[in-house]
Amino acid sequence: MSSTFRTRVASPSSFTNGPVAGGRFVAIGIDFGTTYCGVSWALSDNPDVIHEVTEWPAEFHLNSREDQVPTQLDLATGKWGYEVTSQMKPIKWFKLLLLKDADIVRDEIKSSHHLDDARKQIEARGLTPTKAVAMYLEKLWSHTYAQLASRLDVDNMPLRVAITVPAIWPPYAEQAMREAADMAKITVVRDIGNTTLELVQEPEAAALSIFLDRRDLPEIQPQESFVVCDAGGGTVDVISYTVRSITPFRIGECVKGDGKLSGAYKVDEAFAAYLKWETKLKLDSLSTSEHNVFVTKEWEMGAKRSFTGNPDPPKFFMTPPTKAIGKMDRFRGKGEFSISREAMTGFFDKSLTGIRTLISDQIKGVEKETGRKPKKILLVGGLGGSQYIYNQLELQYPKTILRPLRPWSAVAHGAVIRLLQDKMSNQTNLSHSQRTMISRIPEVVTRKARYSYGILCDKAIATLTDYDRLLDKVKLDPEGVQVAPRMDWYLNKGDEVSKKSPKLIGYQQFAKAANVPEKCVFIIRYSQSDPPPKRQDASVAELCRIECEWDRPFSEWKVIGGSGSGWRKHDDLTLAMRFGGQPKWTIKVGANETEHDVKVEYSS
């Protein structure tokens, strides 16, 4: 192709983040968890009142008013959530299948019953994990829309949607979630306008919810830092923030988010292994229905939720179905079995070990960054609601652990808060009461980059201090300069990025009349390596392609090398990246003083 990029310096003053008019909308936050999902929403007219979606479709109307719904889908019948009965064989944990096997690093996860069963069922029906997620999301969204329609004129209101994702998810998994949302018709074109979709990291959403609930506590003061631990069913995510100001309420990321696959599933897997190897139960004799009822009633709703780690009770008794008990035990009247407190502790410690490591690393990071310990540790998530987990962390960090007022809906609430703050803060037509309420909603104004972001471009070898004739492929550019392809990293892993001031990078593009690209195209690459490589190697992957219109015809591009060369140059291109938990891209082309709308196509 007869076109090439070369970088140039861009001026930050050429980009503005000016106010926009905007209007009323509905903000919807979806906490798509490994084991449970929750949905919250708010009207921009009344941003300080956040509602939960409930009244879930349910068999026998049980649990329909819960804040969350189980992340389970029966592929044979299409039943989901609370509709799933004990006779069905639903897929569970299928959210984790959006990760490649290489990123599910632990063998016990790869070979777990729930994950293995979900994988086999999905493949047997010729589906993909993304399609399975989409099928569940479509049902969740259909119910959410129906609930909104019963309370609002939702057909005539713009919708702003955020779905939460783990902090440790790589870009390809986030893209799979976007694709699933599209398949689920969340972003379908409506007469009122397109529904926007954003992805929000789970620990950030949790932090926003807790900070809003706790903003009037005396410990919430400028320069104080807080560690957030979101212990869910699949992942445990951590992140730390420092309070920048109270009015307006602004916080900045202090230590970048991290996480492990150390959620409540590890507790469940340890219990399942105990049943198989440490008891004499004949589990194979049970039907699917009998097994599911036993595990749900005796374990999930019983021993697991009541365990605190206290000396009393010393044992937890469970009553399995009669046919799972051996003949001799039935003859002797042994209709139940017990699990010792020590064994229960072992189950929970499978997850607690990972939680402690993540929190410890965050505390060290906060001390290194600020010179003092964090003020509090904010504990959220389903596993975070365990009294045993709370007690153990409180012993390790006395008078430091705080839990949210609404533990089950904290993450979905936080996603709504992010949407309200992002979409309303720059609107010019807000009432005085709306502006007052927005100023009280916490806003993340700085973040830490989880990856390095950049482009592959041509650099003059005369400027390279480490030029290597074997590694660098030299060519002559249209201006007669010897250049070699190099990575230009304009944001490095761990760098702090301001929400208000974008990271900028400028380009030049060369082309001939016969091969002028139809669109102005930028390819953004990322790397997990620290520091990132100077040349493109195996650690560099494509994040997305960005397109926008040229601002002038090719005939008006600058002629180079004489009119007979055929080469022309556009040297007034600037790409800006704002970082709202994930990159947000805008482009300035030529003399245009405003930022272009761009098409962003993420790589799978």
Q: Does the pLDDT of residue 378 top 80, yes or no?
A: yes
Q: Is 438 contained in some domain? A: yes
Q: Is 380 contained in some domain? A: no
Categorize the per-residue pLDDT at 594 as very low, low, confident or very high, splitting at 50, 70 and 90: very low
Q: Does the pLDDT of residue 561 top 60, yes or no?
A: yes
Same domain assignment for residues 7 and 33:
no
Q: Which residue has the higher pLDDT, 263 or 563?
A: 263
| Cis ω for the linkage preceding 478 (within 30 of 0) | no
Q: Give burial (CB, 10 Å; 0-12/13-18/19+) of 13.
A: exposed
Q: What is the DSSP string of 36-105?
A: EEEEEEEETTSTT--EE------GGGTTTTSSEEE-EE-TTT--BGGG--TTS--EESGGGGGS-GGGS-
Q: Is 216 contained in some domain? A: no
Most confidently modeled range among 271-285, 299-313, 403-417? 299-313
CATH code for position 61: 3.30.420.40
Q: Is 536 contained in some domain? A: yes
Same domain assignment for residues 431 and 567:
no
Q: Which residue has the higher pLDDT, 77 or 546?
A: 77
Q: Does the pLDDT of residue 19 top 50, yes or no?
A: no
Same domain assignment for residues 432 and 454:
no
Q: Is 360 contained in some domain? A: no
Instruction: Quote the CA–CA distance of 445 and 439 in Å, as a whole number.
Output: 13
Q: Does the pLDDT of residue 25 top 70, yes or no?
A: yes
Same domain assignment for residues 563 and 598:
yes
pLDDT digit string, tens, across residues 449-508 = 889 988 898 999 999 999 998 999 999 999 999 999 999 898 899 888 887 677 777 778
For residue 55, how many other CB atoms are within 10 A of its CB?
A: 13
Backbone angles phi, psi at 225, to 5 degrees: -115, 155
pLDDT digit string, tens, across residues 230-242 = 998 888 989 999 9
Helices then strands, counting H and E runs in the chain, come out as 13, 28
pLDDT at res. 8:
43
Categorize the per-residue pLDDT at 440 as very low, low, confident or very high, splitting at 50, 70 and 90: confident
Q: Does the pLDDT of residue 596 top 90, yes or no?
A: no
Q: Is 98 contained in some domain? A: yes
Instruction: Quote the CA–CA distance of 592 and 550 in Å, as a whole number.
Output: 10
Q: Is 372 contained in some domain? A: no
Residue ranges of alpha helices (H) inside 232-301 are: 265-277, 288-294
Same domain assignment for residues 421 and 553:
no
Give the total number of structural domains in the chain: 2
Task: Specify whether the CB–CB gap between 82 and 71 falls below 8 A.
Answer: no
Same domain assignment for residues 52 and 120:
yes
Q: Which range of residues forms the domain containing residue 595?
A: 3-17+448-602
Same domain assignment for residues 544 and 433:
no
Categorize the per-residue pLDDT at 57 as very low, low, confident or very high, splitting at 50, 70 and 90: very high
pLDDT at res. 20:
41
pLDDT at res. 567:
92
Choosing from 427, 446, 465, the residue where a domain stops is 446
Same domain assignment for residues 423 and 504:
no
Same domain assignment for residues 116 and 186:
yes
Task: Specify whether the CB–CB gap between 487 and 525 falls below 8 A.
Answer: yes
Q: Does the pLDDT of residue 346 top 80, yes or no?
A: yes
pLDDT digit string, tens, across residues 149-166 = 999 999 999 999 999 998
Same domain assignment for residues 566 and 463:
yes
Same domain assignment for residues 453 and 442:
no
Q: Is 396 contained in some domain? A: no
pLDDT at res. 355:
96
What's the sign of the alpha-carbon dihedral 82, 86, 88, 94? Answer: positive
Residue ranges of alpha helices (H) inside 299-428 are: 304-306, 327-331, 341-370, 387-396, 410-424
- Joined tokens for residue 24: 């009323």
pLDDT at res. 329:
61
Instruction: Quote the CA–CA distance of 23 and 91 in Å, as a whole number.
Output: 41
Same domain assignment for residues 493 and 465:
yes
Beta-carbon contacts of residue 502 (< 8 Å; ≥ 6 apart): 12, 15, 17, 576, 577, 578, 586
